[in-house]
């Protein structure tokens, strides 16, 4: 039978502290494990990589594929409740686990986030209430769909419906010929073509929703992507216009409510040059743009993930410091000629307000997320000055 909730800090089950499970052993799982352990929970991680960042620090680690039936049974036997740290975990694995244990987020919500076609349909339905719609788009699943694409969707961005992240599975196309070539180059899989819009900036909102329907929202994050990967997140008063921030938060709450979502959810938005807000995509988990919350808020996105999973109260988080986060990719571990280099951490850590988080990955590779660096301070100006100084030391392009 499913575990009764709430699961309380310090609670014992069969003489042992409550154990919380997570599918996925990456950096998001690692930070979930830290947050769970801080509240006194034990943790178990399932991941196919024996050197996974979360698996290396968890009380128990199951090295297995996410579809391994025996491993899923062991996870359900050990964990009183289970979450996931990445959106491409098989939804059917979550559904199987939910037969025995509370699982958040639910398989149905994750399945929608895994499929851009279903995701955009959900956004379009929510837009009837919130007024925040996705970019104009067309679904392409066949040669006939190619021929029927409206002319006003070009130029556009072609995206695979499934398994796309960090800019992967995407191509910019300006003509019907480029569109056809790109779609065939992607193997003719189901895709979405989005109209290319004039962007002013990008932002995201993270909410946490409990099983009782209570929702809390974190501040709006202003994001800068480079090469399809998040590079910089800025969070302070005035990072986006106040009315726009309120609209984005309200739209995100509505998206979560209409899903009946339980857990931490991030929704990414475009702000157009004319000031309109457009919803882009969602991630059914904590998000790279929310890492600043560990150092700048009284409850981090990972604290909220633990609370929603365990059925604990959700007080409104408070941001106590202005913050700028720099993503640290494996490129920083190499010089311009491609030779390994020593990253100047002593100089970076000499800057006031620096909080370095490395994820315990044993091999640096270009484009691989190795850690993040958050600067906090009393105001945006001082935080920006120090973050720019760190970027110069590290060889990160100014922003």
Query: What is the Cα–Cα distance from 282 to 79, expressed in whole angstroms?
Result: 27
- Residue 368 is given by DSSP the state -
The answer regarding whether domain 136-195 maps to CATH 3.30.470.10 reads: no
Query: What is the Cα–Cα distance from 350 to 348, expressed in whole angstroms?
Result: 5
Query: What is the Cα–Cα distance from 190 to 87, expressed in whole angstroms?
Result: 18
Q: Has 196 been labeled as part of a binding site? A: yes
Using H for helix, E for strand and C for coil, what is the string for 124-169?
HHHHHHHCCCECCEEEECCHHHHHCCCHHHCCEEEEECECCCCCCC
pLDDT in tens, the chain (399 residues): 567 899 999 999 999 999 999 999 999 999 999 999 999 999 999 999 999 999 999 999 999 999 999 999 999 999 999 999 998 899 999 999 999 999 999 999 999 999 999 999 999 999 999 999 999 999 999 999 999 999 999 999 999 999 766 667 899 999 999 999 999 999 999 999 999 999 999 999 999 999 999 999 999 999 999 999 999 999 999 999 999 999 999 999 999 999 999 999 999 999 999 999 999 999 999 999 999 999 999 999 999 999 999 999 999 999 999 999 999 999 999 999 999 999 999 999 999 999 999 999 989 999 999 999 999 999 999 999 999 999 999 999 999
Instruction: Give CATH 3.30.470.20 domain extents, the chain.
Output: 199-394
Q: Has 159 been labeled as part of a binding site? A: yes
Instruction: Give CATH 3.40.50.20 domain extents, the chain.
Output: 12-103
Q: Angle at which helices 242-259 and 116-130 pack, to 10 degrees? A: 120
Architecture of domain 199-394: 2-Layer Sandwich (3.30)
**Dihedral of CA 116/250/86/170: which sign?**
positive
User: What are the tokens at 182?
Assistant: 């790109």
User: What are the tokens at 279?
Assistant: 């919803």
Q: Has 214 been labeled as part of a binding site? A: no
Cβ pair 183, 175 in contact under 8 A? no
Q: Has 116 been labeled as part of a binding site? A: yes
Q: Has 197 been labeled as part of a binding site? A: yes
Q: Has 225 been labeled as part of a binding site? A: yes
Q: Has 167 been labeled as part of a binding site? A: yes
Looking at the domain that runs over 12-103, which CATH code has it been given? 3.40.50.20
Q: Has 185 been labeled as part of a binding site? A: no
Half-sphere exposure of 310 (CA within 13 A, CB side): 28
Residue 360: CB atoms within 10 Å: 15
Q: Has 230 been labeled as part of a binding site? A: no
Q: Has 275 been labeled as part of a binding site? A: no
Instruction: Give CATH 3.30.1490.20 domain extents, the chain.
Output: 136-195
Q: What is the pTM of this model?
A: 0.96
3-state secondary structure of 282: strand
CA nearest to 85, candidates 63, 60, 55, 115: 55
Q: Has 164 been labeled as part of a binding site? A: yes
């Amino acid at each position: 039978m499913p575990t009764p909730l709430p699961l309380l800090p310090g609670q014992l089950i069969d003489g042992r502290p409550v154990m919380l499970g997570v599918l996925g052993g990456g950096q998001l799982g690692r930070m979930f494990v830290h947050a769970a352990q801080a509240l006194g929970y034990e943790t178990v991680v399932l991941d196919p990589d024996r050197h996974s960042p979360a698996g290396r620090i968890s009380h128990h680690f199951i090295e297995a594929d996410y579809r391994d039936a025996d491993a899923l049974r062991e996870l359900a036997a050990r964990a009183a409740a289970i979450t996931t740290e990445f959106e491409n975990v098989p939804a059917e694995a979550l559904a199987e686990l939910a037969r025995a244990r509370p699982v958040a987020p639910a398989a149905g919500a994750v399945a929608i986030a895994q499929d851009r076609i279903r995701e955009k349909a959900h956004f379009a339905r929510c837009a009837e209430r919130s007024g925040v719609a996705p970019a104009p788009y067309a679904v392409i699943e066949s040669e006939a769909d190619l021929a029927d694409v409206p002319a006003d969707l070009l130029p556009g961005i072609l995206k695979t419906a499934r398994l796309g992240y960090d800019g992967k599975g995407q191509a910019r196309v300006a003509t019907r010929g480029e569109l056809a070539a790109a779609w065939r180059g992607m193997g003719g899989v189901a895709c979405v073509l989005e109209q290319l819009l004039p962007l002013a900036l990008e932002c995201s909102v993270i909410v946490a929703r409990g099983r009782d329907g209570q929702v809390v929202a974190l501040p709006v994050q202003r994001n800068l992507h480079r090469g399809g990967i998040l590079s910089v997140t800025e969070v302070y008063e005035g990072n986006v216009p106040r009315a726009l921030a309120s609209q984005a938060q309200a739209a995100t709450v509505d998206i979560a409510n209409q899903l009946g979502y339980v857990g931490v959810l991030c929704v990414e938005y475009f702000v157009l040059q004319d000031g309109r807000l457009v919803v882009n995509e969602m991630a059914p988990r904590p998000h790279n743009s929310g890492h600043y919350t560990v150092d700048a808020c009284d409850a981090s996105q990972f604290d909220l993930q633990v609370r929603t999973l365990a059925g604990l109260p959700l007080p409104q988080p408070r941001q106590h410091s202005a913050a700028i986060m720099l993503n640290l990719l494996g490129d920083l571990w190499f010089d311009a000629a491609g030779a390994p280099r020593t990253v100047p951490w002593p100089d970076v850590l000499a800057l006031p307000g620096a909080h370095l988080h490395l994820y315990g990955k044993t091999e640096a590779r270009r484009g691989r997320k190795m850690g993040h660096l958050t600067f906090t301070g009393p105001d945006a100006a001082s935080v920006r000055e120090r973050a720019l100084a760190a970027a110069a030391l590290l060889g990160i392009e100014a922003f």
